[in-house]
Structure 1
Amino acid sequence: MTPDVFAPAMLGPVRLRNRTVKAATFEGRAPYGQVTDELIDYHLAVTRGGVGLTTVAYLAVAPEGRTHREQIVVGERTLGGLTRLADAIHESGAAIAGQVGHAGPVANGRSNGVQAISASRMPSPLSMQMIRSATEADLTRITRAYVDAARMLVRAGFDVLELHMAHSYLISSFLAPGLNRRKDGWGGSLSNRARLGRQVARAVRDEVGSDAAITAKVSVGDGFRGGVTTDEGIEYAQLLESDGTLDALQLSGGSSLMNPMYLFRGEAPVEEFAATMPLVVRLGMRTPVGRRFLKVYPFEEAYFRDKALRFRAAVSMPLMLLGGINRLDTMEQAMADGFEFVAMGRALLREPDLVDRLQSGRATAGVCIHCNRCMPTIYSGTRCPVVTPVRVSPVDR
């Protein structure tokens, strides 16, 4: 029997009021690395609008793991604000996930004031610095940092921990053969390149047990030469399933470093995005080479579905379908295809109450036009620039 996308469902030990997930999209509302009222209101808008699970992005496990300095590093210093955020979401009737990650080569070392690290040494197009290769000591420290962050988020009341293993972030940089040129036990074969992700997932599960659901964002394809292919992504998913450490996988794609539009699809806002970058990067993006960085992929509904169906056939664990989900019939098709959850991003930026409207029959589809002009707003408060941002009334905090 095909599940009802709006009916309650279990995600590991966590009961969700429905099968809809607000995907992690960097909010740009923590200018001092702390939870703000604006960040809480941002998530309340979608949970009051009917979403079953909202995902806070991006929660770094270490200072050098931020994409830039205006991000939250999980720790004692940020625990109070994270608790306040979780409490507010629970009061709205929804569950809350924290996207836990280390940006690796996607981190801006100049902004962070800490040199970025990756699987292998490489130049950074973001900071115009060299990214150093992670040492054994780094990998031990970072694995421990994932564990510490996971336990801290459980203390704060988070229901779900989403481990970021895609988009050329640190774990993903180890998976991609074009970014991982190591000759040690962390490079070469897929089993070696998969070690860090599997090690982190095992360590986090051993730490939190059944106190929270644990998911991972993985790639159906990185979209660049030397990135994770669909075949390798499936093999990696099978390894994670065999470990038994995760409650679900969220299927994403693309690379924040090498090919971001592979994830987003639709129009490429080159001029708007360049305007948010430092001068050197801004000038580079206006060259023919820079313009190719933001490639144009025509938008189509559920654009990862075909690749995701290959994952569905290869693993039995719960899967979240992501990528261009805007319509009720798409959500129902995802349930018929055997996916357990649907994750939405831009559609909810445009209409935070879209889930309620779809469930009540007031709408059959969202109105997002996929212009992607929301992308350049991530540094000033992620929003849909087509409409006036929806503000929710404050709650007692």
Structure 2
Amino acid sequence: MASDASQRPAADVPAPDVPAPDVFAPARLGPVRLRNRTVKAATFEGRAPQGRVTDALIDYHLAVARGGVGLTTVAYLAVAPEGRTHREQIVVGPQTRGGLARMADAIHEAGAAIAGQVGHAGPVANGRSNGVHALAASRMPSPLSMQMVRSASDADLTRITRDYVAAARTLVDAGFDVLELHMAHSYLISSFLAPGLNRRKDDWGGPLERRARLGRQVARAVRDEVGDSCAVTAKISVSDGFKGGVTTDEGIEYAAMLESDGALDALQLSGGSSLMNPMYLFRGETPVREFAESMPFPVRWGMRTPIGRGFLKTYPFEEAYFRAKALRFREALSMPLMLLGGINRADTMEQAMADGFDFVAMGRALLREPDLVARLAAGRAAEGVCIHCNRCMPTIYSGTRCVVIDPPFPMQ
């Protein structure tokens, strides 16, 4: 059953004389009640060999669930085989439903809610690893597979929209509380939004309204399928961080379209491009050598060239580095928003609430300290100890972990 846009909850933007909500108090995300307003952001776990749910993947999310987070997000659940970033990624379907249900049950027993980041990697997919060519808005070479990425046809987009719907139904039946539709980082939907990646002359390209068509179509189709049986959110970009990417102005315009459609319960505000400028998302040190060593040849060789080294730009880390751009979204929109990007301190989380954001999403801070939320809530800590060296990033192919300390999660 489709949900009426008028029934979607508005953001709890504090009035001048109303105290900001407590980030550690229970809150609602659409139809879902969360024990607090903290979210473990989707970061690839590297624990799904053969594309299956493993005990190690469950333990990875159990650590942050037991550590106090309100909602933990399982990363990169692909809707189709060609939509995987690489072959060791879960494709949602009947063959993976049992493992996903086992994971949802475990997270619920720990007191947290569970989200699945539902996506199609588009041009970020490694077609050589997947054994099927990647798709994008327009034809382009892939630096990952050294193959050409194929331009998606109308038939492809119809099929992929159905794939999103089928994945959504499987995850809801498996007990997932939230579906996060991946519309950022140059994944398929994001590749349609970016004018530099979308050179189409048909009804899927040109003005933003046409480039936004796929994302809006997917959001509506998923909502119509799941109704109010779960929350549906989307990850979108405050800026792609490359010439020809989605700008902040276009991001706000796109967000306003999604808000007017009424299919989503919240937006998570991210940025950067896994394909064109990944460090725009992460900020901090750039571990070029470690990245090169983790890549297969010839990508490893390419990263050692001047062009390859230039791909991994360096952006100094600052706390809540997307806040300034995200505030522009907060001013333009009334729907709930999640603030992401370098959130490590209790006072940053409190400021986000005062700014009118509804949830805070954390990534590297929880990788280093899975129990950080519980310690912040209890006043036993004021900030995390992550040093933003980003050496965790190259470990995604061998089990994502903090390399500064002993691995907090089992690797096998």
Q: Give the TM-score normalised by the residue count of structure 2.
A: 0.95
Q: Which amino acid aligns with 2:392?
A: C
Q: What does residue 357 of structure 2 align with?
A: 339
Q: What does residue 106 of structure 1 align with?
A: 124
Deviations 1:348-371 (A, max 9, x none): 000000001101111000000000
Q: What does residue 137 of structure 1 align with?
A: 155
Q: Does 1:377 align with 2:395?
A: yes
State which of 324, 327, 336 in structure 2 corresponds to 1:306: 324
Tell me how far apart the structure 1 counterparts of residues 140 and 239 of structure 2 sit (CA, whole Å): 21
Q: What does residue 172 of structure 2 align with?
A: 154
Q: Does 1:292 align with 2:282?
A: no
Task: Select between 212-221 and 382-391 the one with higher mean Cα deviation.
Answer: 382-391
State which of 26, 31, 37 in structure 1 corresponds to 2:49: 31
State which of 135, 138, 142 in structure 2 corresponds to 1:120: 138
Which residues of 2 match residues 217-232 of structure 1 at below 5 A?
217-232=235-250
Tell me how far apart the structure 2 counterparts of residues 44 and 279 of structure 1 sit (CA, whole Å): 35
Count of residue pairs brought into register by the alignment: 393
Shift in Å, 1:277: 1.0
Q: Does 1:20 align with 2:38?
A: yes
State which of 52, 55, 78 in structure 2 corresponds to 1:60: 78
Q: What does residue 357 of structure 1 align with?
A: 375
State which of 105, 114, 120 in structure 2 corresponds to 1:87: 105
Deviations 1:76-121 (A, max 9, x none): 0000000000000000000000000000000000000010000000
Tell me how far apart the structure 2 counterparts of residues 24 and 66 of structure 1 sit (CA, whole Å): 15
Q: What does residue 41 of structure 1 align with?
A: 59
Tell me how far apart the structure 2 counterparts of residues 361 and 241 of structure 1 sit (CA, whole Å): 36
Local SS of the residue matching 2:298: helix
| Structure 1, unaligned runs of 5 or more | 393-397
Spell out structure 1 runs of 4+ moving beyond 4 A: none
Tell me how far apart the structure 2 counterparts of residues 127 and 59 of structure 1 sit (CA, whole Å): 20
Local SS of the residue matching 1:224: coil
Deviations 1:374-396 (A, max 9, x none): 0000000001001112248xxxx
| Structure 2, unaligned runs of 5 or more | 1-18
Q: Does 1:172 align with 2:173?
A: no
Query: Which structure would you say has the larger RCO, counting Cα contacts within 8 Å and 6 or more residues apart?
Result: 2
Deviations 1:306-331 (A, max 9, x none): 00000000000000000000000000
Q: What does residue 395 of structure 1 align with?
A: none
Q: What does residue 182 of structure 1 align with?
A: 200
Tell me how far apart the structure 2 counterparts of residues 358 and 22 of structure 1 sit (CA, whole Å): 15
Tell me how far apart the structure 2 counterparts of residues 74 and 343 of structure 1 sit (CA, whole Å): 24
Q: What does residue 13 of structure 2 align with?
A: none
Shift in Å, 1:21: 0.1
Deviations 1:27-84 (A, max 9, x none): 0000110000000000000010000000001100000000000000000000000000
Q: Which amino acid aligns with 2:183?
A: M
Tell me how far apart the structure 1 counterparts of residues 409 and 47 of structure 2 sit (CA, whole Å): 14
Shift in Å, 1:338: 0.1
Q: What does residue 275 of structure 1 align with?
A: 293
Tell me how far apart the structure 2 counterparts of residues 272 and 116 of structure 1 sit (CA, whole Å): 26
Deviations 1:254-285 (A, max 9, x none): 00000000000000000100111121111111
Q: Does 1:207 align with 2:219?
A: no
Q: Which amino acid aligns with 2:55?
A: D
Local SS of the residue matching 1:146: helix
Q: Does 1:50 align with 2:68?
A: yes
Local SS of the residue matching 1:251: strand
CA contact (8 A) 2:137 2:199 kept: yes
Local SS of the residue matching 1:237: helix
CA contact (8 A) 2:56 2:409 kept: no
Task: Select between 32-41 and 278-287 the one with higher mean Cα deviation.
Answer: 278-287
Tell me how far apart the structure 1 counterparts of residues 396 and 334 of structure 2 sit (CA, whole Å): 35
Q: Give the TM-score normalised by the residue count of structure 1.
A: 0.98
